[in-house]
Amino acid sequence: MDRVLVRLIAATSFLAVSLLPALSEPKHGIAMQGEPALPANYAHFDYVNPDAPKGGSVTYCVVGSFDNLNPFILKSLRTTARGMIDTVYGNLVFEPLMQRNYNEPFSLYGLLADSADMDPERKSIEFHLNPNAKWSDGQPVTPEDVLFTYDVFKDKGRPPYSDRMSMIATLEKTGDHSVKFTFNDKANREFPLIIALTPIVPKHAFDKETFDKTTLKPLMGSGPYTVDKVQPGQRIVFKRNPDYWGKDIPSKRGFDNFDRITIEYFLNANAKTEAFKKGICALDDETDPVKRDRDIDFPAFRKGDVKQEYFDTGIPPVVTGFLFNTRLPKFSDPVVRRALGMLYDFEWANKNLFAGKFNRTMSFWQNSELSALGHPADEREKALLAPYPGRVPAEMMDGTWRPPVTDGSGQDRKVLRAAFELLKGAGYHVEDGRMLDPRGNLFGFEIMTSSQDEERLAALYQRTLEKLGIDVTIRSLDGDQIQSRKQRFDFEVLIGTSGFNNSLSPGSEQVGRWGSAAARHEGSFNLAGVADPAVDAAINAMLNARAKEDYVAAVRVLDRLLISGNYIVPMQYNTQQWVAYWSYLEHPQKTPIFGYQLPAWWRKPN
């Protein structure tokens, strides 16, 4: 063959190959930013004891009730039993395709899927199921189970599970142990990780037609535990599956150490505390420092049978406070919300209720580089906000904003006067000691509470508001009633002591909390009813950022918008996690950045 022709064929072949799309290799882990920290041959997460002894039992205690075991549906008269899927106690029954490492901002490693092939543009991801993955009845986990999960969630599930198919162009089985998701233009760069974290349900164990019905029948999953006993509203018992398929894979080594896990339900926090003192509950995680200092002084603690410990975390503090339902006309004006926000007297509360042990919550990503506090807006942020002029005040843009500070007397007139001037500028006035709105109607609202601690904080806020003639009532409901009202957005003001957990890698959960579409979806987490195109744009920029600098800028813009919108009156936080526990429990030496992880604890052998 002519040498020139041979060279031409070779060159043409090389060019053809070079023009093909780059092939990515399946990886043991994926990360939101950059690459996962752990190598492919990692043995276990670094915050577990891989040799933790297995055995014994533990009882956790919660306040509330339950009448349903299916965590994926909206129609629950009360709440779903804890533990089926759970960020605190672990996903005991249902598992996702990949497992989160809580010592990284947002990295996932193999679980039901032992590897994933994500294209560089994140337009698709193919999961390769672990051939050993099995449901608790011994049947294998298959691609058909993944397809069924998304089909039933779309038609019968609750938000956010019901919304995920809207961002998927195609979902297909690509092999005996593989399934591929291809995304449409609605998806963002985080969405492949959200897919990886979505729990999978067994096709052969569920009937699609009845999937959305509440049930107390033990459900089957692939997780390390099965449901053993159910006493509706009182107790659920999980039994460790000795044949659990994943007990030796790296992402599960050192976890799931108890033979039995019981979750007991109590009507209120005081009953739960007393049960802990009697040894019924294994631990107590009281957040009020004054209350826990008082309650910890009991005989078992003095004898050394109960320990208390503080754990440092590396994530932003939980944001708690009074949340306004901005769907209501009375809370539609951000100026009014700003005035109301000025009237929570943190200094008095911290001195008189919390022995000075709390800090003021000011940002949704406080104490991190994602916070707007102390960070003047850079050019990236200004560009994001340019289409929405005037949405963020100057002091918020330059990073100098701080909430008003009172003298701690409970009678600081300068703050009251400043709040009154804002209300006056919005058309409000006082007549016969009562605040009237621009239409001449009495201005006031109801605060819903579900515990004595919440009532105490609501009463403090009520006292200050009444100084300006604002008519505030407090309605105490049990946890089930609160949950039902929240799902229907049937409230004026909620006091949320459970709050908003934020991480160093905020993502799609922000759509559910603050996105305009979620404001209209019953059962969503956008309780405040935020429907702001500027907020939507910031979330979209955050979810599609490629460079870290762009990501940080987008989150800071979101922080500035949420603070400026005054959707919630933030209260206070403590920088450490506190827990008291009976001395038969032990935990790993290392604490990950997300704080202590109960699924990695174990019981001392007898």
Residue 589 is assigned to a structural domain of this protein? no
Check residue 78 and give its pLDDT: 59
In a domain, 250, yes or no: no
d(CA 573, CA 287): 9
Contacts of 266 (CB under 8 A, 6+ apart): 61, 62, 63, 272, 275
User: Around Cβ 25, how many Cβ atoms within 10 Å?
Assistant: 6
In degrees and rounded to multiples of 5, residue 209 shows phi and psi of -65, -30
Q: Is residue 188 part of a domain?
A: no
pTM score, two decimals?
Answer: 0.82
| pLDDT tens track for 51-64 | 999 999 999 999 98
Q: Would you state the structure tokens that stand for residue 541, as one six-digit string?
A: 């920029």
Radius of gyration (C-alpha) of the chain in whole angstroms: 26
d(CA 326, CA 333): 8
Burial class (CB in 10 A: 0-12, 13-18, 19+), 310: exposed
Closest Cα partner for 221 from 208, 196, 203?
Answer: 203
- Are residues 577 and 562 in contact, defined by beta-carbon separation less than 8 angstroms? no
Return the pLDDT at 5.
35
So what's the pLDDT on residue 20? Answer: 38
Q: If DSSP codes are grouped into helix, strand and coil, which group holds residue 545?
A: coil
- Asked if the bond preceding 242 is cis, omega within 30° of 0, the reply is no
CA 52/CA 276 separation, integer angstroms: 24
Helices (H), 324-446: 334-341, 346-352, 379-385, 394-397, 413-425
Burial class (CB in 10 A: 0-12, 13-18, 19+), 151: middle
Q: Given this model, what pLDDT does residue 381 score? A: 98
Determine whether 438 is exposed, middle or buried from the number of CB atoms within 10 Å of its CB (0-12, 13-18, 19+).
exposed
pLDDT below 50 — which residues of the chain?
1-23, 77
Instruction: Specify if 401 maps to a domain.
Output: yes
For residue 361, the domain's CATH number is 3.10.105.10
What's the distance, Cα to Cα, between the start and end of the chain in Å?
82
| Angstrom distance (rounded) from CA 548 to CA 68 | 41
Can you give the pLDDT at residue 410?
86
Residue 189 lies in a domain: no
Q: Is 372 among the domain residues?
A: yes
Residue 518 covered by a domain: yes
The pair of structure tokens assigned to 40 is: 């492919």
Task: Report yes or no on 294 lying in a domain.
Answer: no
- Buried b vs exposed e over 452-486: b needs ≥16 C-beta within 10 Å? ebbbebbebbbebbbebbbebebbeeebbebbeeb
Q: Rounded to an integer, what distance in angstroms lies between the CA atom of residue 180 and that of residue 195?
A: 11
Report the alpha-carbon distance of residue 63 to residue 272 in Å, rounded: 7
Q: What is the DSSP letter of 331?
A: G
Best CA proximity match to 119, nearest among 26, 37, 31, 197: 26
Question: In this structure, how many other beta carbons lie within 10 angstroms of the beta carbon of residue 52?
Answer: 18
- Residue 523's Cβ-side half-sphere holds a number of Cα atoms within 13 Å equal to 16
Q: Give the domain extent around 340.
A: 321-573
Which residue's structure tokens are 């591929």?
Answer: 180
Report the C-alpha gap between 227 and 229 in whole angstroms.
6
- What pLDDT was estimated at residue 501? 80
Q: Let me know the angle formed at the C-alpha of 446 by 80 and 461, rounded to the nearest 5 degrees.
A: 105
Distance between CA atoms of 222 and 149, rounded to whole angstroms?
13
Which H/E stretch holds residue 163?
A: none
Distance of alpha carbon 106 from alpha carbon 31, whole angstroms: 6
How crowded is residue 260: how many other Cβ atoms within 10 Å of its Cβ? 16
Please enumerate, as own/partner, the contacts of 215-219 that have beta carbons within 8 Å and a separation of 24 or more.
215/68, 215/69, 215/70, 216/67, 216/68, 216/69, 217/69, 218/69, 219/69, 219/70, 219/84, 219/93, 219/94
Residue 429, H or E segment = strand 429-431
Give the chain's domain count. 1
Q: Cα dihedral sign for 109, 115, 119, 120? A: positive
Q: What is the 3-state secondary structure (H, E, C) of 222-244?
A: CCCEEEEEEECCCEEEEEECCCC
Return the closest-CA partner of residue 397 out of 552, 559, 571.
559
